[in-house]
Amino acid sequence: NFTLDNEVHSSFIHRRLKSQERREMQREILSILGLPHRPRPHHHGKHNAAPMFMLDLYNAMSTEADEDGYSYPYKPVFTTQGPPIASLQDNNFLNDADMVMSFVNLVEHDKEFLPVRRHHREFRFDLSQIPEGEAVTAAEFRIYKDFIQERFDNETFRISVYQVLEEHSDRESDLFLLDSRVIWAAEEGWLVFDITATSNHWVLNPGRNLGLQLALESVDGESVNPRVAGLIGRNGPQSKQPFMVAFFKATEVHIRSVR
């Protein structure tokens, strides 16, 4: 295939570009892509959860580009075992999206390891890198739940996701409940929480972006360590790390600057 492709494409460029020409071409293509400079990602593991999820979206968009629309891949390719827990969402926001962006979790240590009464886990996402002129139409927080063998299959937990409103040094943070649901111990796959309103709030008020908190309770209302229930954290495999994904619609036409 490579030979065939090479033959087809070699009809135009017959020679290697000189380094100056190559730089010029790089600059022009970056301008077309609307980027001020070439990004230099620090950790760019392409097999991490977020890049793989995004690649799945890319493939869905590419393969069905000529059709009327594309469907949200509710069973991501990287979910190797068991059905995904996440419910299917409306496809429209994906069809309408001009841009989709995933955000890595910036919290280095799970609070669950600290001696606190209430087990919880914190997540933070830097939304300052969103290009100008893009409005959030939908946003999700995604966390993977592994199957836990030590637990009874019929055991359930209540999982709650909160937006952190204010932090205090002497007491627990002020929280706003975003979503709460019951999960089975035997379930396995990605849990998806709608955080559209919160994301919009963070974009408009970057100083109020204090992240999310996740807490787990047993049926008796006792606080449960998320790790015990199989929720993957920082120490888990890279392909199952929690992340955030947001869908955008362009609010203004991108005009390239005059050079």
- Applying CB under 8 A, which residues contact other proteins? 8-9, 11-13, 22, 25-26, 29, 32-33, 38-44, 46, 50-51, 54-55, 57-58, 61-62, 65, 97-104, 126, 129
Percent helix, strand, coil in the chain, to 5, is: 25, 25, 50
Smallest distance, other proteins to C-beta of residue 159, A: 25
Smallest distance, other proteins to C-beta of residue 4, A: 13
Residue with Cβ nearer other proteins (20 or 129)? 129
Residue with Cβ nearer other proteins (101 or 185)? 101
Smallest distance, other proteins to C-beta of residue 32, A: 7
Smallest distance, other proteins to C-beta of residue 56, A: 10
Residue 194 burial class via C-beta count within 10 angstroms: exposed 0-12, middle 13-18, buried 19 and up: middle
Residue with Cβ nearer other proteins (22 or 109)? 22
CA distance 44 to 48: 8
Q: Tokens representing 228?
A: 């015990």
Q: Beta-carbon neighbour count of residue 111 at 10 Å?
A: 15
Residue with Cβ nearer other proteins (11 or 169)? 11
SS3 33: coil
CA distance 140 to 178: 11
